[in-house]
Amino acid sequence: MTYDTGKRDFRVLLCGESISLLGDRVATFAVPTIAILTLHATTFEVGLLTMATYIAYPVAGIGAGLLVDRFSRRPMMLVASAARFMLFMSVPLADRFGVLTIEQLLLVVGVSGCFTLLYDVALQGYLPILLPGDELPRGNAAVEVSRTTSQAIGPALGGVLSRVFGASSAVALNATSFLASMLGVLAVRTGEPAPEPHAPRDTMAGRLREGFAFVFTHDLLRPLMLSAAVRNLGTTVIKTVIFLYAYRALHICVDTMGVILAVAAVAAVLGASVAGRVVRRFGYGRTLLITVAEGVAWLLSPLALLGHPAQALGVIVALTSPWLPIWNSQVSTARQVLAPVRLQSRVLASIRTISWGTLPLGALLGGVLATVLVGALGERAGLALAIVVGGVVTTSAGSWLSAPAVRSLREVPLARSADRSAEEILSGARH
């Protein structure tokens, strides 16, 4: 592979992925809208729907890592995109014939989450093959800019489609977007190393233990993983409640909510675009610690009850938006360059299993918390307080980043860690 070929393939892959991400953002808006406004889902059912979106991470995370570790990444990515196309296309078809149910939505988002996880683990392991070490941070930043740009366009587009054609049309657009993802993968020319053969004694349990041991004995990856787990717990509580808060407590209409999320996503794009400069100014560790400002901003959510709800919620959501893209772009690079090549997929899957494993728990907690608080305080105050609780949990993620070893870190070495033997890893050797 030449340097130019790798960069060309990265651009092709990113183009297809960007279209797919746009469809995902439209569906992220449309699916809860269908559940709340068409199927009249209860608060608890909305929590279950959000939980189903993320249930794959603790359930199938390690399985995805082992699959990608055993087989080539590109076929995995193609299968994942094709499966998601068929799953999401079933929603508008069922709605067309009047048989759509909340149970089908739960099944679609739950199973598609497994294939999303498989695609994501394969993609994260493929990027270091396409891009040399010094280009990898810029590549991750480009992926994050694409992700946040889709967040800017997707909600507004989802709001317009939902208003004019119905929310099921927005889900159909998401399904179609996975075809672009498949075309992007098919257009990649760069080959990948053949999967490393496994000895007969190389058991699944041993490979799982090796990946987890590497992460838990690493002085940087461990606190990053645990901080992400706490952060994801809090933000998923908020994501579960925010549509209920907007529609039922603040009486914001669908297209206005789409605009609010689009404006907030513009702030996320700005965050992704300046991530490198922020790190150069404040250092790696301090930048990550600063990103917990996301949780602090969510504590302002009850202010939307005092008047001008759409404007107030728009400002609050915008204030929360720049921080996660900065976090994602920097943490992704650390995970990729610090994991040895032969452990790449297992390490990434181990991290995802722990750090994203709290997503379904946060969704369930959000649904239960909102139900209890609404029953005790009424819809307006109860939903507002549930978001505040999520903000407190999100802010507490900073405690894992306050250790001097993390806080004082100026940058992450871009030279990939040399492979270590299983004995060294399992004995607790540290970088």
Task: Report yes or no on 195 lying in a domain.
Answer: no
Task: Report yes or no on 286 lying in a domain.
Answer: yes
Residue 72 reports pLDDT greater than 80 = no
Q: Which pLDDT belongs to residue 238?
A: 92
Task: Report yes or no on 197 lying in a domain.
Answer: no
Does this model's pTM top 0.75? My answer is: no
Domain that holds residue 229: 3-190+202-426
Q: Which pLDDT belongs to residue 229?
A: 92
Half-sphere exposure of 21 (CA within 13 A, CB side): 19
Q: Which pLDDT belongs to residue 215?
A: 83
Number of domains, the chain: 1
Q: What is the mean pLDDT of the chain?
A: 79
Q: Which pLDDT belongs to residue 97?
A: 87
Residue 431 reports pLDDT greater than 60 = no
- CATH code of residue 175: 1.20.1250.20
Residue that wins the pLDDT comparison between 229 and 34: 229
The span from the CA of 89 to the CA of 170, in Å, is 10
Mean pLDDT value of segment 16-41: 80
Q: Which pLDDT belongs to residue 417?
A: 44
Task: Report yes or no on 339 lying in a domain.
Answer: yes
Task: Report yes or no on 132 lying in a domain.
Answer: yes
Q: Which pLDDT belongs to residue 430?
A: 38
> Of the given ranges (9-13, 202-206, 210-214, 352-356), which has the lowest mean pLDDT?
202-206
Task: Report yes or no on 431 lying in a domain.
Answer: no
Q: Which pLDDT belongs to residue 76?
A: 83
Task: Report yes or no on 148 lying in a domain.
Answer: yes
Task: Report yes or no on 196 lying in a domain.
Answer: no
Residue 408 reports pLDDT greater than 80 = no
